Structure 1
Amino acid sequence: MSRQETLKTLRKTLLRRRDALRKALVGDLSLLRELHQQKTGDPLDAAADTVQDELNSQLVEVEARELAAIEEAIAKFDSGNFGDCEECGKPIPLNRLKALPYANECIECKRREEMDLELEGSAPPWNRIFDMTEVDPV
């Protein structure tokens, strides 16, 4: 299969995932609204509801970030820029795109970005790439 054919297949995957995330977000947001409308009389129930609300909110946040990344990838595909690293401009390897179809950087540039964040003392992003070859044995 050629690179272009593989990219077209990845676009279909992105479209299916986008549609699934949209449906999930609608359901998650509906659930959050329902939970906020329910009144609990017991303090333990209220605490449990608060924990559940927080977990649902975090899930919605992660899904929303993934959806935004997918929509950006679809827009790039439509404009002819899908599959190219935003940093170096080189084609992102197909294995990386198969693993993370909305990747916008090659592994080398992403690792460099993470190293720079580490040196600055910033927290690593939620989708950090780990290189197990650099881990010191304990």
Structure 2
Amino acid sequence: MSRKESLQKLRITLVRRRDALRKALAGDLSLLRELHQQKTGDPLDAAADTVQDELNSQLVEVESRELTAIEEAINKFQHGTYGDCEECGKPIPLNRLRAIPYASDCIDCRRLAERGSDDSAASVPWNRIFDMTEADVVEG
């Protein structure tokens, strides 16, 4: 299969994921609105609701970031730049794109960016946050 055909299959994957995230975010946001309208009983219920609200809002934030990256990747198809590293301009290897279809840089440029970043939050792979263990977070 040619690179062009592989990229077209990735485009289909991106569109499907974008549509799924849009639906999920619409549901998550409506759930957050409903939870804020409900009144809680005792302080323990209020604390549990607060924790759940925080978890839901963090999930919405992660999904929003992924959705933005996917929409940018789909836009690159229209401009003919999908699959090219934004830093060095070289083609991003297909294996990387299959793993992260919305990747905007090659592995080498990503490593350089992470080494040069003083902000520890910038080096957190948000698209893989749920795959990480506690040890990965502490080491990161």
TM-score for both structures, normalised by structure 2: 0.87
Structure 1 Cα separation of the partners of residues 121 and 37 of structure 2:
36
Q: Which residue of 2 aligns with 1:122?
A: 119
Matched-pair contact (CA < 8 Å) for 1:114–1:124: no
Cα distance in 2 for partners of 1:48, 1:124 equals 27
Matched, 1:4 2:4: yes
Query: How far, CA to CA, are the matches of 1:87 and 1:36 in structure 2?
Result: 43
Segments of 4+ in structure 1 off by > 2 A?
none
- 1:124 shift after superposition: 4.0
Counterpart position of 1:113: 113
Q: TM-score, normalised by structure 1?
A: 0.89
Over alpha carbons, which structure has the higher Rg? 1
Preserved CA contact (<8 Å) 1:11 1:74 = yes
Percentage of pairs with the same residue: 73
The answer to whether the 8 Å contact 1:7/1:83 transfers is: yes
CA–CA distance in 2 between the matches of 1:63 and 1:111?
Answer: 24
Aligned residues: 126
Q: Deviations over 1:81-116 (max 9, x none)?
A: 000000000000000000000000000000000000
